[in-house]
Amino acid sequence: MKDGENRVVSDAGLDLPAYKKAGVDIDGAAASVRKIKELARATQDSHVISGVGGFSGLYHAGALGFRDLVLSAGADGVGTKVKIAQAVGKHDTVGIDLVAMNVDDVVTSGATPLFFLDYIAIGRLNPKTVEDIVKGIVEGCRMARCVLLGGETAQMSDVYEENEYDLAGFCVGAVEKTRIIDGRNIKPGDVLIGLESSGLHSNGYTLARKVLLEKAGLKLDQHIGELGRSLAEELLEPTRIYAPLILELRESVPLKGVAHITGGGIYDNVSRILPPGMRIEITKNWNVPRIFDLIQKLGDISLDEMYRVFNMGVGMVLVVSPDDAGATLRKACDSGVGAFEVGVVREEKK
């Protein structure tokens, strides 16, 4: 057994003091697996053949009724946002971020997220920490309406300090081939609809930490008047999960393109889905959350760089025809997610 293979272990009651002293607690891992199985069960549906506990999870996608099945898959992490969680000892929200970063990538193709798997690498096993992380993952899966099918917890005391960990996630979705959203029908004049972010989401935390904690000397438990809460509460606000809304919108509005606004901001991410010969023209007319203003001011960062690093209040961009813009805005706002026009598609300048 490798050090990392601890989601599936034999609970033989053996005393392994040398291995435990070196940083790997097999008995503790076995107890964590049992708890994780209980948590994951809340996300399962009738298509799960086997989930947490085996060497692989099995999911009967054919039973979902797709006629010309195409799988969509994504992998992502939470980045240095985990440093904030570790610093304040609050681990029950970064799991939501982990799910969000993956399912919101997968849904950009029009795919329905089916199942999710996680990877937790930790310095020394702390069952409560792992349980809190997985609780967040379970909550994220419930919000995204997908199954937590399995995962892995790796005890890596030679790589991470005792209270350090890192997270990665993997999501698989499915879409009928004729319903794939790939941007090929986007044309000049199409409208960009932005869906409101919940804050920083899970990008730009290296710069945010550098500015807020190191340069400005703010404390995580410090109440920030501009934010109306502590800095830690702001920085740990979970990434918004858009997948169910995107799938609902697709049923009534022809979505030509969908871009998840992560690292690279609006410009880089929307450009990824445009056909050749097109560009975007952004109209910065929405209310940018105060956390971004605070980072810009304290870090003396140019507006151009802010829009390349952060989402600036826009977590997802939908591309629709001008005739469908009004309906898209109404349906998004009716769901409780703020929506606004953020720009238009133009031809490349000659």
Nearest to 57 by CA among 74, 70, 43: 43
Q: Tens digit of pLDDT for each residue in 274-296?
A: 999 999 999 988 999 999 999 99
17-179: CATH number:
3.30.1330.10
Q: Alpha-carbon distance 310 to 195, whole Å?
A: 14
Q: How far is CA 195 from CA 60, 150, 278, 287, in A?
A: 32, 30, 22, 12
* DSSP per-residue codes, 232-268: HHHHTPPPP--HHHHHHHHTTS---EEEE--TTHHHH
Burial 327-344 (b: 16+ CB within 10 A, else e): ebbebbeeeebbbbbbbb
Q: Tens digit of pLDDT for each residue in 132-191?
A: 999 999 999 999 999 999 889 999 999 999 889 999 999 999 989 899 999 999 999 999
- Number of neighbours of residue 197 by Cβ within 10 angstroms: 25
Q: How confident is the model at residue 28 (pLDDT cuts 50, 70, 90)?
A: low
pTM of the complete model:
0.85
Q: H or E segment at 330? A: helix 322-334
CATH 2.40.50.140 fits 191-347, yes or no: no
Q: Tens digit of pLDDT for each residue in 32-83?
A: 556 656 666 666 666 665 455 554 455 567 667 777 888 888 899 999 999 9
Specify the amino acid at residue 11.
D
pLDDT for the residue 38: 67
The domain limits of the chain are: 17-179, 191-347
